[in-house]
Structure 1
Amino acid sequence: MELIVQTFTVRKKFALKISRGTTDRTTNLWVKIKEDDLEGWGEASPFSISKAESKDTAKLEQEIIQISPRLAKFHPLQRQEIAEILDNQQVPSSVKAAIDTALYDWLGKKVGLPLWQLWGLNRDRIVPISVTIGISSPENAVKRGLAWQETIDFQILKLKLGNPEGIEADKAMLEAIRSAFPQARLTVDANGGWSFNDAVYMSHWLANLGVEYIEQPLAVAENDKLATLSKNSPLPIFVDESCFNSSDIPRLASSVAGVNLKIMKTGGLTEAKRTIEIAKAFGLQVMFGCYSDSSLANTAMSHLAPLADYLDLDSHLNLINDPFSGATISEGRLLPNNQAGLGVEYHAYK
């Protein structure tokens, strides 16, 4: 099989600020696998879980270029051999995600079925997605919510908290949103921006305002405090940065209520599906999230969406120049289509 990679840069309509910093654009990778006159597509986007890490698209591209000759001798159906090479070479999880997704897209096109149908899933079980409001002043947060209303008839707002200015700034932002959108369901993601004491306090304060859960309240370095926090919190605690793939589930299962899975963290749909199954076996709820992903990656995850309890697949809706289209919004839900494979199309942008 032939493996091709090219870069594309996406710009956000609204820059997204979280506790670790702000992003307004990213350069991602479009990976194509060719075999038997068919192309399978995947996406790799750079991400980091700490301020110390760099987001280096060039490094990801070089990893793909270096591994390509070793993969070229295989057929897309030889997934076991391909996975072993990727594991042995310890390629970044986002590179694995792009290749794994492209292999599934190729397979779906080969057999003429969309992935959700290939897996025997039911699109009617897909829950509405949430849309995200980054850390900002109360006034700007409300403006962002109003802007979202022009894009999607949302039911759930996900608020990024962990403001460097402290929890009083977090509270002011959330109160403004609750007042402006009284009917919206609210969830909160602190991206590891709170201390343990602040997290306990905020869990009670947020519960009184009807928030449904708290995501990643503590930094990854404080994973050992998650169990105690969960015992002292009236709200379910989910983790994101603390959970990459299925190997993380056993150590987290007794400490949290759920996990946020992202295709770039798990390393593809294969591992995402495995992680879902293990999380469910441990009684955990499952959420899907995203980074600065285009419709290509979010459509890929939408095919597994019938298995998720919560969905935060909104990054492509905040892009000015998304070069792809695939899953569509219907009544607040992101639904994969009936086309074979991922069902994604490319639209050139100048």
Structure 2
Amino acid sequence: MNISIHSFTLKLRDPFRISYESRNEQEALVIQLSDTNQQGQTVTGLGESTANNYYQVSIERMQKEVALVRERIEEYSLANEVLNAGQVGTPGHLWQQLQPELQHSSFTLCAIDVAAHDLYGKKVGQPLYKLWGLNPADAPTTNYTLGIDSIEVMIRKMQAKPWPIYKIKLGTPEDLAIVRELRKHTNAVFRVDANCAWGVDETIENAQELKKLGVEFIEQPLKADNWDGMKEVYQHSALPLIADESCIVEDDVAKCAGHFHGINIKLTKCGGITPARRMIREAQRHNMKVMIGCMTESTIGISAIAHLSPLLNYVDMDGALLLAEDIATGVTITTDGVHFPDENGTGVQLLTPSPTSLV
């Protein structure tokens, strides 16, 4: 396989603020893997990971991590036929080969894994959902995220983007007031995400009030390592609780049982599609709800999530909707649901060459 990496600065439509950061743009790394299919045609797979200050992931760090495994990737050959999961020649097998060296580099591993899945689907001539035996009609509707802002601005953003489900970012002294005011302007389903900003008693009290306001669930109310606190909240919360920062990798899923009612998987944080599919199965074994969320990726990352979405109870794949300008085509998200292109793999194509080609 041939590999190249590119960086993009994704401009956001509006400033995006959560409890611990605010940003106007998002740096993204795109991995491009190319090979020939059975017909001798060159096909290309694309994968993406975003830089993230909270997890200390930069474009420069990911570039160095790709260099560590570059030779191994270039020597690997994905199959031109459909194989069982994990067999030599599948993206899952490639992931297993790279994971020991990139075990602390999940964002980079994710971009490689997504690109490998896209390329594999294009080589065997099938979209991923079909390879996995999934029905796109089973995909849940994504929420649309409202970042923290003044109440007036949050209302304006909501009215500018009518949507059936909103995720409301909280973590301010005005949290209940924000939800009460937003509720006056829509009958949409609300989900709230405190991003680790609340305490135990605060969460239990807020849950009672938020339930009255039509909130469906609360995402990550306490700090990620506050397991004792989450146990108490779990026992007394009037609303379901979804883990995010507390559920990063596969081993975290079982720990979340009895502390959360569900988990929110991020492809970048767990290392890609390969581990995400295992995390879904593990959560289901523990009778937990499953969600996949995004990290403000372009359509490249969002399309990968979309192919997994028929397996999910909830999905947060609005990243490309938050951008002022996208860098790729692929799956499209509307109020009517998920629309898959008539393409193989994840179905993505770059719209323009990268402004910064790193390799």
**TM-score by structure 1 length?**
0.93
One-letter amino acid of the structure 2 residue matched with residue 86 of structure 1: L
Q: Which residue of 2 aligns with 1:63?
A: 65
Query: Which of 72, 93, 111 is matched with 1:98 structurally?
Result: 111
Mapped contact 2:296–2:318 kept (Cα < 8 A): no
Give a deviation string over 1:165-186, Cα, whole Å, max 9, x none: x2xx1111111100011x1111
Query: Which of 144, 160, 163 is matched with 1:131 structurally?
Result: 144
Structure 1 stretches of 4+ moved >4 Å: none
Mapped contact 1:33–1:40 kept (Cα < 8 A): yes
Alignment of 1:137-152 (within 5 A): 137-149=150-162
Mapped contact 1:97–1:266 kept (Cα < 8 A): yes
Give a deviation string over 1:36-64, Cα, whole Å, max 9, x none: 2221111121225x4xx534111111211
Mapped partners of 1:293, 1:180: distance in 2: 28
Q: Which residue of 2 aligns with 1:31?
A: 31
Mapped contact 1:155–1:332 kept (Cα < 8 A): no
Mapped contact 2:217–2:241 kept (Cα < 8 A): yes
Mapped partners of 2:269, 2:322: distance in 1: 21
Alignment of 1:142-291 (within 5 A): 142-149=155-162, 154-163=163-172, 166=173, 169-181=174-186, 183-291=187-295
**Is 1:87 aligned to 2:124, yes or no?**
no
**Is 1:120 aligned to 2:122, yes or no?**
no
5+ residue gaps, structure 2: 37-41, 80-88
Mapped contact 1:129–1:332 kept (Cα < 8 A): no
One-letter amino acid of the structure 1 residue matched with residue 52 of structure 2: F
Mapped partners of 2:128, 2:343: distance in 1: 9
One-letter amino acid of the structure 2 residue matched with residue 145 of structure 1: M
Structure 1 307/110 Cα, relative in aligned 2: closer, same or farther at 3 Å?
same
Mapped contact 2:234–2:258 kept (Cα < 8 A): no
**Is 1:46 aligned to 2:51, yes or no?**
yes
Structure 1 55/332 Cα, relative in aligned 2: closer, same or farther at 3 Å?
farther
Give a deviation string over 1:213-233, Cα, whole Å, max 9, x none: 000000113123212101110
Mapped partners of 2:224, 2:92: distance in 1: 32
Give a deviation string over 1:177-197, Cα, whole Å, max 9, x none: 00011x111110000011111
Mapped contact 1:18–1:162 kept (Cα < 8 A): yes
Q: Which residue of 2 aligns with 1:111?
A: 124
Q: Secondary structure at the match of 1:26?
A: strand
5+ residue gaps, structure 1: none
One-letter amino acid of the structure 2 residue matched with residue 84 of structure 1: Q
Q: Which residue of 2 aligns with 1:13?
A: 13
Moved more, 262-271 or 82-91: 82-91
Mapped partners of 2:165, 2:92: distance in 1: 39
Mapped contact 1:160–1:190 kept (Cα < 8 A): yes
One-letter amino acid of the structure 2 residue matched with residue 162 of structure 1: G
Give a deviation string over 1:279-333, Cα, whole Å, max 9, x none: 1111000111111211000101100100111111101101112111111234442
Mapped partners of 2:2, 2:333: distance in 1: 33
**TM-score by structure 2 length?**
0.90
**Is 1:340 aligned to 2:352, yes or no?**
no
Mapped contact 2:164–2:335 kept (Cα < 8 A): no
After superposition, the CA RMSD in angstroms is: 1.6
One-letter amino acid of the structure 1 residue matched with residue 7 of structure 2: T
Structure 1 311/253 Cα, relative in aligned 2: closer, same or farther at 3 Å?
same
Question: 1:94 Cα shift?
Answer: 1.2
Structure 1 211/80 Cα, relative in aligned 2: closer, same or farther at 3 Å?
closer
Structure 1 121/233 Cα, relative in aligned 2: closer, same or farther at 3 Å?
same
Mapped partners of 1:93, 1:344: distance in 2: 22
Question: 1:246 Cα shift?
Answer: 2.1
Q: Which residue of 1 aligns with 2:82?
A: none
Mapped partners of 2:246, 2:336: distance in 1: 28
Structure 1 83/127 Cα, relative in aligned 2: closer, same or farther at 3 Å?
closer
Question: 1:85 Cα shift?
Answer: 3.6
One-letter amino acid of the structure 2 residue matched with residue 303 of structure 1: H
Q: Secondary structure at the match of 2:333?
A: strand
One-letter amino acid of the structure 2 residue matched with residue 139 of structure 1: E
Question: 1:110 Cα shift?
Answer: 1.0
Mapped partners of 2:16, 2:33: distance in 1: 32
Mapped partners of 1:69, 1:62: distance in 2: 13
Question: 1:24 Cα shift?
Answer: 1.2
Q: Secondary structure at the match of 2:157?
A: helix
Mapped partners of 1:83, 1:329: distance in 2: 28
One-letter amino acid of the structure 1 residue matched with residue 136 of structure 2: R
Q: When the two structures are aligned, how many residues end up with a matched partner?
A: 338
Mapped partners of 1:111, 1:98: distance in 2: 20
Q: Which residue of 2 aligns with 1:297?
A: 301
